[in-house]
Structure 1
Amino acid sequence: MKRTLTAIAAAAAICGGTAVAQDSETLEINLSGEVESNCELIPEGSASYDVDMLDTGNQGFLAIAYSCNSPYTVSLQSQNGGMEHQESGGLVNIDYDVETQFFIFPTGTWNSAADLSGAGTVIVTDNDWANILVNGGTRSGNLDLSFDSLAEYAVAGTYSDLLTVTLAANY
């Protein structure tokens, strides 16, 4: 045992007092992962609501909750740009207003059905990653539908429109 210790001490003295490692290897491990974007809209699917075409007041509201774990946009689109008269083949189209209030922005905005036709309109955009992380991407809002005074001149018949609320990830 004494001889082995003397050999190590001699090797250390030759290298300036420090023992040198004879062999060294390293392993670098690159880690990666992925989380898919997940957006949920409640309610989702389809729903039907009867509106009073002659009531110029608020027709009530639809409460919406949604969450998205990435930046997102909420948009609203009208298929007909108003309540389309079915018997006239769309020659009569009664405009209405939709007040949208989503609580990422505490103030509501008014959009007419005509503005919502075609590509529709974006009503909420959130690109703030820190806000999405802190709040889990969860928000809520509501849609209020109302007719202006011109609705009193609506002709008799059946009217319809299809409003589409879309929650889409911007990721």
Structure 2
Amino acid sequence: MKRLAWLVLCCFASNAYSNDEVSITLVGYISPVCEFTSQNSNLEFSSNGIANTALEINCNSPMRISMQSLNGGLSHEKSNKISPYNINWSLEGANKSVSVSAQAIKSTYSFNIDEILFDSIAEIQLTLDEPLIYAGRYQDVIRIEMTPSVVSGGVL
């Protein structure tokens, strides 16, 4: 009888110390999205040769910003005259500023932002190298593209 009680006690004790293990894997995914809007898409240089605008940026991943100038400067409507200007970026929240000439972005110019910018503002200032002297209309178009990336440095 003692043996039977001992055997039953051992069976209960071994069951009390047995363990089972379960692993649970959790997965989540959010698609990268970059949205931006310009406060003013038609800029006119002031008499002191400066034009300003801002971009409102909302991006949930690091990004690559690419710019391209159609003419590489302000093209005069009735001549081959191209008036050079510079573009200065200041990005709130990224501690990043970029300065580049319109001529340099005639071929696409890109730079990376490693920070994630929710509800941020990019201040853009355009500055003429020399005053405009010929009468008539001048024009250039700057194409700006922001590409999100889950890998720092943008998508190549």
TM-score, length-scaled by structure 2 = 0.72
Q: Is the aligned partner of 1:18 residue 2:13?
A: yes
Instruction: Tell me the distance in 2 between the aligned counterparts of 1:64 and 1:98.
Output: 14
Q: How does 1:113-132 map to 2 (within 5 A)?
A: 113-122=102-111, 125-128=112-115, 132=116
- The answer to whether the aligner puts 1:78 opposite 2:69 as a matched pair is yes
> 1 or 2, which has the higher helix percentage?
1
1:161 and 1:29 mapped to 2: Cα distance?
Answer: 57
Q: List, as ranges, runs of 4+ consecutive aligned residues in structure 1 with deviation greater than 3 Å.
A: 7-10, 23-29
* SS across alignment from 1:40: strand
* Aligned pairs (5 A) from 1:27-66: 27-43=22-38, 47-51=41-45, 55-59=47-51, 61-66=52-57
Distance 1:20 1:140 in 2: 63
- Whole-angstrom CA distance in 2 between matches of 1:109 and 1:69: 21
Structure 1 residues 8 and 34, CA gap change in structure 2 (3 angstroms): farther
Identity %: 21
Which position in structure 1 is the counterpart of 2:91? 102
Structure 2 unpaired stretches of 5+: 151-156
Bigger radius of gyration: 1
**Cα deviation digits, residues 84-128 of structure 1 (max 9, x gap):** 12333xx2211112222222226x443211012111243xx3324
Q: Is the 8 A contact 2:83 2:130 kept in 1?
A: no
Backbone CA RMSD of aligned residues: 3.2
State the alpha-carbon separation in 2 of the partners of residues 71 and 32 from structure 1: 21
**Local SS of the residue matching 1:20:** helix
Q: What is the CA-CA distance between 1:80 and the residue it aligns to?
A: 1.0
Q: CA offsets per residue over residues 50-107 of structure 1, 9 Å max, x none?
A: 335xx34323x1022212111112333211101112333xx2211112222222226x
Aligned partners of 2:56 and 2:121 also within 8 Å: yes
Residue 113 of structure 2 aligns with an amino acid whose one-letter code is: D
**How far is 1:27 from its partner?**
5.0
The structure carrying a bigger strand percent of its residues is 2
The size of the alignment, in residue pairs, is 147
Instruction: Specify the SS of the correspondent of 2:13.
Output: coil
CA displacement at 1:26 relative to structure 2: 5.8
TM-score (ref. length: structure 1): 0.67
Q: Secondary structure at the match of 2:132?
A: helix
